[in-house]
Structure 1
Amino acid sequence: MLTIKQITENTDAVIRGLEKKHFKNAKETIDQVIAFNDKRRSTQSILDNNLSEVNSISKSIGQLMKEGKKEEAETAKSRVAELKEVNKTLQTEMDQAAEDMQNLLYTIPNVPYNEVPEGVGAEDNVVEKMGGMETELPKDALPHWELTKKYDLIDFDLGVKITGAGFPVYKGKGAQLQRALINFFLDEARKAGYLEIMPPTVVNAASGYGTGQLPDKEGQMYHCEVDDLYLIPTAEVPVTNIYRDVILEEKQLPIKNCAYTQCFRREAGSYGKDVRGLNRLHEFSKVELVRIDKPEHSRQSHKEMLDHVEGLLQKLELPYRILRLCGGDMSFTAALCFDFEVYSEAQKRWLEVSSVSNFDTYQANRLKCRYRSGEKKTELCHTLNGSALALPRIVAALLENNQTPEGIRIPKALVPYTGFEMID
């Protein structure tokens, strides 16, 4: 959530940033926030003056009674009663202005950094880097949904029977490969200094608001209405909320956490050939990295996270590219975001496998996540997160890009985790 200071001191820059994200009615919305804030402040000022007057008059009443000035004392009592009634109205007006402002702030996305390119959608993202090994496949190469059937690795039809479309059942070496990737990603994160967390996979509404998933404008979260709980779309939500309403000491930063969880997304409106097989699921596994940092160090943290994800893809021997997202393709909460995509040789398309984002103070302001600097004053932290990695499309690319006439080859880095070198 944008801070009032950010909006009032840099109004034009905030509006330009929101327009870069193609946020509709940016100027009108920001003007409305400022109007609510002005109403709240002016009402607070009147209320403070009235409270001061009430205190002053109240102190004088006893003295007037002692001096026998009963009529003046009664007049003073009447004035106090009158002010108290006025103050009730003022308090209601001030609370309403604050609530209206807060609700409006929840609907405003983060402001992108200057280096975020202009653009409307994915076609305007900038390719920063390409890497990995070129893949040569047999002429009769199969997409992963055919390979999983051929080698009995994943049963999509059984998932439909048990739950519905988008909830696959992993079997045999397919399940082993999934577990191997999870352990590989977690081990690599621990080697890089991340503390492993095993959080809940359902969260309350406060947690959803804290990281910006709520209000859920696109209806992508699964909501357990009876208990008012939400299935997490990513481990970012519970892990980042560990630091909600927390004041950290400067020496604790940067905090580095990692977590493996199941993730749940309704993916409303997704259909067609691009969502076949593992390309887009309602339930999937992911290892997430979360960092809490000081503002002056968050860009370095972001670079370290990018290097970490790139290293994973290199060890998996997958062809990849890194994209700097344009304003129109960034998430609601991000100030700067890079996507990693792996190339599926069998599908002849790029598959997104990670987004690594810096949220600046946007989430921290919602979370009230602060740190105490050397001068003992508190400041908002910066929060960052990234997938390291999301499994479905990694599995798809591994199966497709490593298929041979003898079977599917397992990358060397994974063999100690799978216990086998080939799926045949």
Structure 2
Amino acid sequence: MIDTFQNTLAYAKKLDEQDELRKFRSEFHIPKQKNGEEHIYLCGNSLGLQPKRTQKYIQQELNDWANLGVEGHTDAQHPWMPYHEFLSESMAKIVGAKPKEVVVMNTLTTNLHLMMVSFYQPTSKRYKIVIEADAFPSDKYAVESQLKFHNIDPKDGLILWKPRQEDKLCHVEDLEQIIHEQGDEIALLMIGNTNYYSGQFYNMHKITQLGHKHGMLVGFDLAHGVGNIQPNLHEVGADFAVWCTYKYLNSGPGSLGGCFVHERHANNKNLKRFVGWWGHNKATRFNMRHEFDPISGAEGWQLSNPPILSMAAIRASLAVFDEAGFKNIRTKSKKITSYLEFLVDEINHEKINIITPRNPNERGCQLSMQVKDADKNLFDVLTEKGVVADWREPDVIRIAPAPLYNSYQDVFNFVELLKSLL
């Protein structure tokens, strides 16, 4: 694919003309600069853009609230009582699961804690947790606090799967070595499936098989994977997964997260869990006198009734995903990211080094560019010139062409600007 790319504006426009997803760009609000021109927005890995239909979806709920009050729980156009159920089928397609295995609830780190209550089961001998060394800080904080909650010193209980110095990437062979040396003491593998810093997409199937083979439970944080790659959670066989929805799923700042629990755990009432009334049997939930009876599947981990306004924004975005088709999204993602890679390679400048894997199957749409001498000035000038990307300490600019709203011309214009600054 890369060999056929051309480094011209005319070619970028040709790719856009041939793009089957090009119409979806008009479905999003593209932020504008002070001069009225659109930003080159390449930051969907941090906050996705707002779908234009989001306002309509939220306004409908505001209208029903105004006109119906509490009766909106049953009489709204989209009744609030089962509102989270309206999201399950679309979300299941995106993460490769059965609808019963997913639920939208809470926020990412809250869900991670809830899952570790159930799936981190330390004993005197098997008590350690493995995460990747450069996991997103919130994951590390959450895992450390779970260890402390069980009176385990993180210095003893936390194992870091470290990237190799030569390529900055994590290798499954190194994880296998960790398990060979300490496997009898490891209770949980808790890996972020797409690394926020390097953009590396880990082999989830191999990691899950490895963990289960040695008696461990396995979970994944899909914060940078959901809506970006296809994790195929049911087929992979992970015990659980968690994610946010405000990055590639475009649900708005701080919006709700999602949770996956594999169906083999659906009816296991012996699993410890922190519970709330919304996870209770729907048939008797409002009786108020019954002992807790968890709903079968991921819904049984719910705590509280759903925040409708946030869920309306998620429903709006998922409607766009349904129309575009996730297979088509992933196909464009591979192509537009490979095009970005090709153009950056064409610059051939010693100051820039792509640390994201070159294999399109080992990454999503993000390319992480390591900047020599950790010179943030380059990023600052790109920002002044209208590029919206992000800088991650100590020395990486993350560029993410989101396939639903980014064009090939966005990518070309960005690289032309980068080249002029170098």
TM score, norm. by length of structure 2: 0.22
- Which protein has the larger Cα radius of gyration, Structure 1 or Structure 2? 1
Q: Whose relative contact order is higher, 1 or 2, with alpha carbons under 8 Å and at least 6 apart?
A: 2
